[in-house]
Amino acid sequence: MWRSSGSTLSSSQTDELLTISKGVPGHPTEEAHFSRLYPGSRSFCHDPKFMAIAFSSFFFAEFCCHLRRFFFVGNNRAAFARHHLLLGNQQATQYGAKGISDKPAISPRRAYITIAVLCYVNLLNYMERYTIAGVLSEIQKFFDISDSTAGLLQTVFICSFLLLAPLFGYLGDRYNRKYIMLCGLSVWLLTAAGSSLVTRSQFWLLVLLRALVGVGEASYSTVAPTIIGDLFSGGQRSVMICIFYIFIPVGSGLGYITGAGSANLTGDWRWALRITPIMGLVGLILMVFLCPNPPRGAAESHGDGVTGHSSYMEDVKYLLKNKSYVWSSLGVTALAFLTGALAFWLPTFLARAHITQGLRPPCTGDTCNSTDSYIFGAVTVATGILGGALGTTLSRHLRDKFSHADPLICAVGMLGSVPCLFITIFVASSSIPATYVFIFFGELLLSLNWAVLADILLYVVVPTRRATAEALQITVGHLLGDAGSPYLLGVISDAIRSSNPKTHEWNFWSLMYSLLLCPFVGILGGVFFLITTMYITEDRKAVQRLVEEDLRPQQRPTPDSSMELSDKRTV
């Protein structure tokens, strides 16, 4: 109750006065507006004692509000923000103003700036990941290690990446995502720079630091796509996701190029590992000042955010019952196995093909011929851009006509790449140019999938569980996919070469036979995506229904339209 000069206001009238005091755009001043609503109460509005109490209480309430907004994160923060936005929308509508929830939580300009920063950091992530592959021959010569041991460098990185992804997924659905990414990227910068300082006797340290690099990338790769999903919706989201995921092959290709180029310019392969940490420091600063943490589900709810309170086990059970998510994740696993093995070993395979054909002498010095890394990197960049754009374009044009178009596009990309891979493997021994042609078409078909797959996850999983879904997909995809595929192919190659290990021809043939595993995995991935087409329509509709139910306004009592003045003093 408010008291002043013997006059009493009910709590609902007090709420209304505070709402007026906040100021609704396009409305009269507080005093004039209050007098218009309550004729005959001008003397009340001019009472200095009352107005001092009212406005001081209002500013205290606002101070508490901002404290709660600062400290509340995750689902609690989303619920708090949604409550105030809905209340503000109802009150503003009552006074004839435009609803607050019609305004986006993040302005379009800032959303586009955020996308630019996230894409830049994503580019650096994949540059750093495949820099090792660009100088793999130099690393093998420097440490005198076999194919299987060299493959271990990528395996330990992916293992730490996938083991920590569930943790960051859990945190990403509940706490401030910007802070999570900043902490992870800081670890990534330190460990990536440290890996360039190892000596010839410290291969174990290089392996350890490569494992720690995965800590930083797990935090970013798990959380960043969910922020994009909360900034955009519909066709615009598909375009932005496409742009974000195009930087996977672009970054991978530039990783080969910058790695090989740095090694050639300096004569030391370790300089290849120092480029991305320097560029990453710029990305970290940009993220601090330019990236927001939008409410979860803000894009679908016009800025309100979607709330949800569930335990981690409930989230996992929900995802396991989501058939579209399960089958598409298995398809992602096959794609990760395929692309991880090819990205790591194809430059080395092509270099050995040149030696086998007598086009190039064997590598004898500290630095080897890096032409294949340059060409393969350029092909990867080109096919990544073309494939990502083509996949998104097909998705946007076909999705309205065929609700199952997205997984069908992924299936066509996987199955279509299989004959290209077979031809690439067998033609390499006789024609390098023809090999590059089929590498181009194979990578183009595989690149159709990346942006489309990310979009599938965002629309078949509710907003409050997307980070967990990203994390589990990363974990399964890398655990059964590219975490083991480089090492597995290295083990197969070493086993085949053991019959005649001293010839350069057997170095090539052993690796060629081990690569034959990849096309069969591609066939399996295509089948998984075909199965996804059977469930995706219903699962997408289920998510839309859940979001609509969460956003349905709750019935609230209307504030009293009259004010009772009494000479009685309340106790």
Please report, rounded to a whole number, the percentage of residues in the chain having pLDDT higher than 90.
Answer: 17
The more confidently predicted of residues 179 and 18 is 179
- The average confidence (pLDDT) of the chain is 75
Is there a contact between 10 and 560 (Cβ–Cβ < 8 Å)?
A: yes
Distance CA 247, CA 381 (A): 8
**Residue partners of 325: CB distance under 8 A and separation at least 6:** 319, 457, 460, 461, 469, 473, 539
Is there a contact between 494 and 147 (Cβ–Cβ < 8 Å)?
A: yes
Give the chain's end-to-end CA distance (angstroms, integer): 10
Of 42-46, 83-87, 165-169, 478-482, least confident by mean pLDDT is 83-87
Mapping DSSP to helix (H, G, I), strand (E, B) and coil, where does residue 8 land?
Answer: strand
Of 17-26, 176-185, 528-537, least confident by mean pLDDT is 17-26
pLDDT at residue 97 tops 50: no
Q: What is the pLDDT of residue 366?
A: 57
Of 57-66, 270-279, 494-503, least confident by mean pLDDT is 57-66
pLDDT at residue 350 tops 80: yes
Which of the four pLDDT bands, split at 50, 70 and 90, describes residue 302?
Answer: low
Average pLDDT over residues 328-354: 89
The more confidently predicted of residues 406 and 49 is 406
pLDDT at residue 353 tops 70: yes
Mapping DSSP to helix (H, G, I), strand (E, B) and coil, where does residue 199 land?
Answer: coil
Of 158-167, 320-329, 383-392, least confident by mean pLDDT is 158-167
Query: Averaging pLDDT over each range in 258-262, 402-406, 424-428, which range is the top one?
Result: 424-428
- pTM for the whole structure: 0.63
Q: What is the pLDDT of residue 517?
A: 92
pLDDT at residue 10 tops 50: no
pLDDT at residue 4 tops 90: no
Query: Averaging pLDDT over each range in 58-67, 135-144, 536-545, which range is the top one?
Result: 536-545
The more confidently predicted of residues 27 and 217 is 217
Distances (CA, A) of 499 to 130, 150, 425, 496: 31, 20, 21, 6
Q: What is the pLDDT of residue 368?
A: 66
Distance CA 444, CA 388 (A): 8
Q: What is the pLDDT of residue 98?
A: 37
Q: What is the pLDDT of residue 315?
A: 85
Query: Averaging pLDDT over each range in 248-262, 302-316, 405-419, 553-567, which range is the top one?
Result: 405-419
Q: What is the pLDDT of residue 198?
A: 86
Structure tokens at 87: 């209340």
pLDDT tens profile 436-482:
999 999 999 998 887 788 888 888 988 778 778 887 887 888 788 88
| DSSP for 423-473, written as a single string | HHHHHTTT-HHHHHHHHHHHHHHHHTHHHHHHHHHHHHS-GGGHHHHHHHH
pLDDT at residue 519 tops 90: yes
Phi/psi for 99 (5° steps) reads -65, 140
Which of the four pLDDT bands, split at 50, 70 and 90, describes residue 149?
Answer: confident
Please report, rounded to a whole number, the percentage of residues in the chain having pLDDT higher than 70.
Answer: 73
Distance CA 408, CA 415 (A): 11
pLDDT at residue 306 tops 80: no
Structure tokens at 36: 């218009």
pLDDT at residue 137 tops 90: no
pLDDT at residue 46 tops 70: no
Distances (CA, A) of 332 to 444, 463, 525: 16, 20, 7
Distances (CA, A) of 377 to 9, 329, 346, 436, 522: 73, 27, 11, 11, 22
Average pLDDT over residues 512-517: 92
Which of the four pLDDT bands, split at 50, 70 and 90, describes residue 89?
Answer: very low
User: Which H, E and C letters describe 33-100, residue by residue?
Assistant: HHHHHCCCCHHHHCCHHHHHHHHHHHHHHHHHHHHHHHHCCHHHHHHHHHHHHHHHHHHHHHCCCCCH
Distances (CA, A) of 277 to 164, 188, 387, 396: 21, 8, 28, 36
Neighbours of 423 (CB within 10 A): 18
Average pLDDT over residues 359-381: 76
Q: What is the pLDDT of residue 79?
A: 43
Q: What is the pLDDT of residue 298?
A: 57
Q: Hunting for tokens 């489309």 — which residue is that?
A: 452
Please give the distance of CA 458 from its chain centroid, rounded to a whole number.
10
